[in-house]
């Protein structure tokens, strides 16, 4: 069989970027939570906040470490496998990625060192400042990378001179048509992911009667935040969808499974799209609802996939199903978050073990939803690498051979499998150990707490086999 460097490069990029995306989506939300905890501790001096911050900072460090190393890979992928794209888009892409480094990466990396190891070396105010800088850095970073990504979907502010992109307006290129929606959608997704992990772990502790005080505090904080963020995400997601409809109607046609351009289009709930036959099998649909959602009118016209030639269509099945997974999970998130918030307000969280179980099962789901969402938007952009400007097939490095890409693909899968497995094992260990106990009555800090790392570490060092799970 002939090994196709283009196909293998696409698989490799999908793999390394999906693997990488898991980490920042969690750490962006968690960094803000840690900054909030540090602020509360700074202002109130209550040990419960300190302990929570210490515990979640430890989790953060592990996850952030994996995010950093998988992120370094990303910054070289463009050049190794997509050198034509890199070269021709460099006038825009290069400065944007560089701004991400100089405004965000240094900030995060340097202040994380102080956040992790500097509590007893700098004044409390400086330590709080470090926590805030890490949180701010994660947002600045996502702004730039999403500006670059959004530009690939809705390129603006540039003209093509001798085959290469030349920027005519930096404002139009950076604040391109889809950036505001994508950024809001992603920022909320990060808060939701971070929120459900914090809530899930805290619920798990409560069910086992451990760390009651700090867990209850963390669970309440995260559920109230989620009750606001999850419905808001529905609204932002809808706006993002409408923006996509305006600029990338073919992607929306794939998301909805619409082959024909039609008025009064149905909302297809279930179907097996068939690209060969250009139709859906086993379709279950609600008449008119598709037009109503997309155009906010019952007989609005919705563009179908057949409006463009087959070579300009994305793979329909992946986009269609990823979209349903994302939306379905989003609805579940709203339900759980609102139920949880009601129990918080009624003060009956601890009397609802079934709800606590459900919350603890939620931990992996936001990650699935985020990846599904990225699959929708990235696979839905195909066959374009820069929408309407450059095809992925024109972008791949010419000197690559199939076996070279296969070798590195196998290499990355192997390396990431090892790193991810170990990361999960150690994360599990840290979580089983839990935050240091909060003394009753919240007395003044004891000398013990002056060495926060030892407190977490001693119990984290228990061999896995003895872990209570």
Closest CA to 316 of 395, 393, 380, 264: 380
CB 299 within 8 A of CB 255: no
Mapping DSSP to helix (H, G, I), strand (E, B) and coil, where does residue 160 land? Answer: strand
Closer residue to other proteins (CB): 148 or 253: 148
The site string for other proteins over 318-357 (x = CB under 8 A, - otherwise) reads ----------------------------------------
Q: Alpha-carbon distance 37 to 49, whole Å? A: 5
* 282 membership: H or E segment, kind and range: strand 279-286
Give residues 54-93 in contact with other proteins (rule: CB under 8 A): 61-62, 65-66, 68-73, 75-76, 78-80, 83-84, 86-87, 90-93
Task: Output 79 or 388, the one with its CB closest to other proteins.
Answer: 79
Rounded to the nearest 5 degrees, what angle is found at the Cα of 49, between the Cα atoms of 45 and 52?
150
- Cα four-point dihedral sign 159, 165, 168, 173: positive
Q: Which two tokens stand for residue 152?
A: 């690939």
CB of 84 to other proteins, least distance (A): 7
11 binds other proteins (CB under 8 A): no
Q: How far is the CB of 294 from other proteins (least distance, A)?
A: 37
As measured in angstroms, the least distance from the Cβ of 402 to other proteins is: 11
Rounded Cα distance, 200 and 29, in Å:
14
374 binding other proteins? (CB under 8 A): no
| Residues 440-459 interacting with other proteins (rule: CB under 8 A) | 451, 453-454, 457
Stretch that binds other proteins, among 160-168, 196-204, 263-271, 288-296 (CB under 8 A): 160-168
Asked if 343 contacts 222 with a C-beta cutoff of 8 angstroms, the reply is: no
Bridge partners, 159 (sequence order): 166
What are the structure tokens assigned to 410, written together? Answer: 């196998």
Query: 438-464: buried (b, 16+ CB within 10 Å) or exposed (e) per residue?
Result: bbeeeeeeeeebeebeebbeeebeeee
Query: CB under 8 A: which stretch of 112-120, 197-205, 227-235, 279-287 binds other proteins?
Result: 112-120
CA 219 and chain centroid, separation: 21
State the angle between helix axes of 179-207 and 353-361 in degrees (0 to 180), rounded to the nearest 10. 130
Q: How far is the CB of 457 from other proteins (least distance, A)?
A: 7
Q: Identify the H or E element spanning 278.
A: none
- Total residues contacting other proteins (rule CB under 8 A)? 74
CA trace torsion 139, 141, 142, 146 (10° rounding):
140
* Shortest distance, position 400 Cβ to other proteins, whole Å: 7
Considering only the stretches 222-230, 274-282, 381-389, 421-429, report the one whose residues sit in contact with other proteins under the rule CB under 8 A: 421-429
The interface region with other proteins, picked from 175-183, 184-192, 203-211, 419-427 by CB under 8 A, is 419-427
> Could you say which of 276, 447, 463, 468 contacts other proteins (CB under 8 A)?
463
Is residue 99 part of the contact set for other proteins (CB under 8 A)? Answer: yes
For other proteins, the binding residue among 415, 439, 449, 459 (CB under 8 A) is: 415
Binding to other proteins (CB under 8 A): which residues in 305-324?
none
Q: Is 326 in contact with 377 (CB distance < 8 Å)?
A: no
Interface with other proteins, residue 372, by CB under 8 A: no
Q: Least CB distance from residue 161 to other proteins, whole Å? A: 8
Using rule CB under 8 A, residue 122 touches other proteins: yes
Q: Which of 46, 106, 269, 346 binds other proteins (CB under 8 A)?
A: 106
Closest to 27 measured CA to CA, from 63, 58, 68: 63
Cβ closest to other proteins, residue 101 vs residue 331: 101
Q: Are strands 279-286 and 301-302 parallel, antiparallel or unpaired?
A: unpaired
| DSSP symbol at 435 | S
Which residue is associated with the tokens 């759980």? 336
Among 267, 379, 400, 438, binds other proteins (CB under 8 A): 400
Nearest CB to other proteins, comparing residues 54 and 303: 54
Q: With respect to other proteins, which residue has the nearer C-beta, 71 or 290? A: 71
Structural tokens at position 427: 């994360």
Rule CB under 8 A: choose which of 8, 52, 112, 294 binds other proteins: 112
Q: What is the CA radius of gyration of the chain?
A: 24
CA 9-13-16 angle, 5° bins: 135
Residue of the chain from 292, 325, 404, 449 that contacts other proteins (CB under 8 A) = 404
Q: Is 298 or 407 the residue whose CB approaches other proteins more closely?
A: 407
Residues 167 to 196 in contact with other proteins, rule: CB under 8 A: 167, 170
**Among residues 25, 31, 34, 107, the one that binds other proteins under rule CB under 8 A:** 107
């Amino acid at each position: 069989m002939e090994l196709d460097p283009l196909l293998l490069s696409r698989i490799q990029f999908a793999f390394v970027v999906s693997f990488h995306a898991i980490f920042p989506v969690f750490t962006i939300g968690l960094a803000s939570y840690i900054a909030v905890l540090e602020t509360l501790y700074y202002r109130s001096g209550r040990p419960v906040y300190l302990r929570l911050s210490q515990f979640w900072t430890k989790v953060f460090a592990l996850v952030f470490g994996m995010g950093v190393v998988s992120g370094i890979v990303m910054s070289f992928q463009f050049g190794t496998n997509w050198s034509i794209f890199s070269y021709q888009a460099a006038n825009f892409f290069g400065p944007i990625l560089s701004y991400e480094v100089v405004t965000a990466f240094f900030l995060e990396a340097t202040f994380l060192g102080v956040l992790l190891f500097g509590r007893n070396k700098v004044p409390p105010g400086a330590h709080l400042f470090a926590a805030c800088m890490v949180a701010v850095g994660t947002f600045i970073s996502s702004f730039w990378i999403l500006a670059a990504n959004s530009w690939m979907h809705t390129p603006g502010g540039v003209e093509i001179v001798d085959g290469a992109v030349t920027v005519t307006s930096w404002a139009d290129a950076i604040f391109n048509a889809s950036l505001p929606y994508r950024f809001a959608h992603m920022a909320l997704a990060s808060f939701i992911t971070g929120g459900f992990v914090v809530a899930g772990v805290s619920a798990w502790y409560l069910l086992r009667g451990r760390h009651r005080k700090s867990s209850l505090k963390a669970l309440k904080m995260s559920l109230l935040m989620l009750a606001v963020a999850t419905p808001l995400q529905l609204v932002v997601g809808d706006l993002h969808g409408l923006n996509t409809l305006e600029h990338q109607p073919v992607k929306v046609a794939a998301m909805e499974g619409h082959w024909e351009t039609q008025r009064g289009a149905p909302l297809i709930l279930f179907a097996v799209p068939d690209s060969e036959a250009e139709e859906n099998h086993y379709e279950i649909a609600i008449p008119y609802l598709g037009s109503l959602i997309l155009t906010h009118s019952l007989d609005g016209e919705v563009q179908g996939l057949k409006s463009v030639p087959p070579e300009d269509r994305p793979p329909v099945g992946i986009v269609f199903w990823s979209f349903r997974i994302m939306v379905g999970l989003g609805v579940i998130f709203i339900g759980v978050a609102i139920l949880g918030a009601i129990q918080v307000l009624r003060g009956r969280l601890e009397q609802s073990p079934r709800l606590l179980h459900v919350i603890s099962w939620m931990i992996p789901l936001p990650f699935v939803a985020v990846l599904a969402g990225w699959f929708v938007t990235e696979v839905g952009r195909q066959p374009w690498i820069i929408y309407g400007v450059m095809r992925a097939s024109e972008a791949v490095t010419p000197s690559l051979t199939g076996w070279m890409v296969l070798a590195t693909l196998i290499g990355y899968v192997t390396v990431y499998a090892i790193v991810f497995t170990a990361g999960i094992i150690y994360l599990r260990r840290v979580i089983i150990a839990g935050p240091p106990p909060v003394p009753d009555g919240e007395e003044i800090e004891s000398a013990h707490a002056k060495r926060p790392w030892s407190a977490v570490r001693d119990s984290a060092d228990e061999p896995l086999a003895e872990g209570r799970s």
